[in-house]
Amino acid sequence: MNILILHGTSDLYGGSKILYTVADFLRKKYGVTVILSEEGPLADVLREHGIEVIIMKMGILRRKYLNPKGLINRVRALTKAKREIKEIVESKNIQLLYSNTTGVLIGAYVANSCKIKHIWHIHEIIEKPALFTKFIGWHIKKFADLVIVVSNEVKKHWEKYLDANIIHTVYNGIDYQPIINAEDGLRDELQLTNDDILIGMIGRVNLWKGQKYFLEITTLLCKKYPNVKFVMVGDVYPGYEYLYDEIKQIIDNNKLEKNVYNLGYRTDIPYILKGLDIFILPSILPDPLPTVILEAMAAGKPVVATKHGGAIEMVQQGKTGALIPWDNAEQAVDSISAIIEDPTLRINMGEAGKKRALDNFSLPAFEKNVFSLIDSLNIE
């Protein structure tokens, strides 16, 4: 069987890492071709592992296009992409189309037109605008033969729009060995002392990942603990470049320059995690199943995450970390303070988190579940 996978970006953040993981194990059994909308690190990694990559504008649906001019642009882009992808389906004898993320609408149209099976792998919880959510839900219901969701929170959200019998929760799994075997050197790089406690967040900068909330928490913690330092890692999502200026302004206004290291885009995430004492993911909107939490757990770090989305299914309150409110920095500081003040608690939480990641979010389980669902489609 030949499979065509569609994905809208070429970064190496959560959804793209999972896309690579899926493509890498599917190629063991099937012919796999991946279409991406742009060149980038993901395209490079896929090619390095012998997976064919085609770069093509696919009319990816993003919030910035939710206006009359933008929608006209998308219709034109989708029309052109549909014609080009149909040619690929026919020339490569594709029997299954695999759309990764809800923004990849074109897969639905091509699969329907070519009368081939279509899997939609959904990583998102889209709450607003409501009309947009219904629009996406209608497309998934009409054009997906099978829907994979990354957490029960995602399933709960989309069940309002889809037939429950086609939705299947499959927890992500990743290769943890690069994280477990990572080199240790971040603290030396930042010239920290043995008494310093390093707290970090990793995430692409946009409105909902919580970089501003992280700095709000940081400001309060700095007043309470002079020896606590903070690391921020992640570049800016296209269209949100202005947020970087706002982040710098917040750091300057609160005199955090000596406490906060904004490292921007880094590819050495295992190395970054190795050097942390505590990891925080302060998303202000529900994050479906953040891969970075799995990475932090596998690195043996206590994880503090906002109490919504997939984090509820990942972080065990008081055992592997803490769940904090997404809109109350004072309460968040109270929860984090207990972890800062108790080195033994940090070690125990980190060890429990590592065991939980390896036991419950393993790569073999992820692979087995995806293959099982593909087999259930009975494609000859």
pLDDT of residue 66: 64
Domain assignments of the chain as residue spans, ordered by start: 2-173+362-375, 177-360
- Per-residue pLDDT tens digits of the chain, which is 380 residues long: 999 999 999 998 888 999 999 999 999 999 999 999 999 999 999 999 999 999 999 987 766 666 777 667 777 888 999 999 999 999 999 999 999 989 899 999 999 999 999 999 999 998 888 888 998 999 999 999 999 999 999 999 999 998 888 999 999 999 999 999 999 999 999 999 999 999 999 999 988 899 999 999 999 999 999 999 999 999 998 778 899 899 999 999 999 999 999 999 999 999 999 999 999 999 999 999 999 999 999 999 999 999 999 999 999 999 999 999 999 999 999 999 999 999 999 999 999 999 999 999 999 999 999 999 999 999 97
Q: What is the pLDDT of residue 70?
A: 65
**Which pLDDT value is given to residue 63?**
63
Q: Is residue 26 within 8 Å of 3, Cβ to Cβ?
A: yes
User: Is there a shared CATH topology between the 2-173+362-375 domain and the 177-360 domain?
Assistant: yes
Backbone angles phi, psi at 271, to 5 degrees: -65, -40
pLDDT reported for residue 209: 93
Annotate 317-348 with DSSP letters as a single string: BTTTEEEE-SS-HHHHHHHHHHHHH-HHHHHH
Do the Cβ atoms of 308 and 286 come closer than 8 Å?
yes
Q: Within 13 Å and on the Cβ side, how many CA atoms surround 198?
A: 22
Strand partners for 367: none
Nearest to 312 by CA among 295, 301, 324: 324
- CATH class of this structure's domain 177-360: alpha beta
**pLDDT score of 65:** 62
Secondary structure class of 83 (helix, strand, coil): helix
β pairing state of 2-7 and 321-324: unpaired
CATH 3.40.50.2000 fits 2-173+362-375, yes or no: yes
Q: Which pLDDT does position 39 carry in this prediction?
A: 96
In degrees and rounded to multiples of 5, residue 146 shows phi and psi of: -155, 140
